[in-house]
Amino acid sequence: METNLNELKELFHLKDQDIRSYSPLTLAYIGDGVYELVIRTILVKKGNCPVNRLHKKASSLVKAAAQSGIMEVIEEKLTPEELSVYRRGRNAHSPTMAKHATMADYRRATGFEALIGYLYLKEEYTRMIALIRMGIREEDI
């Protein structure tokens, strides 16, 4: 992710916002897309394979239960600021719920996505990728 958000800001005339004021569901919205893109990038960079296989593997890694599992691994490694963002996301009341997920998994996954969105918008890509890497086992990718 060498392109930074400053280029987007310039090209689209975006103003700086205080991301601490963003709702946790807004952070989760962007975090969901960023996390899926990271996972897809990892899978594609591992080598060419049928799209159906890529989709199955990506789906297994981005589903709520998998994201919840990542949080179980990384939660104790979060900074106080990151933990606060995660908790805000986890405690946010979403009008929808993921299919095939428990409420607990869905809430932890929403917190995880909020954290990823927060780190992405802060342009803390190295930390974001490090946390994702801590939470994903080598045999799962």
Hey, which residues are catalytic here? 32
Q: Within a 10 A sphere around the Cβ of 65, how many other Cβ atoms?
A: 16
Residues 6+ apart with CB under 8 A from 91: 24, 107, 111
Q: How far is CA 34 from the centre of its chain?
A: 6
The answer to whether 108 touches 78, Cβ cutoff 8 Å, is: no
CA dist 3 → 7, 50, 109 (Å):
7, 28, 27
Q: How far is CA 18 from the centre of its chain?
A: 19
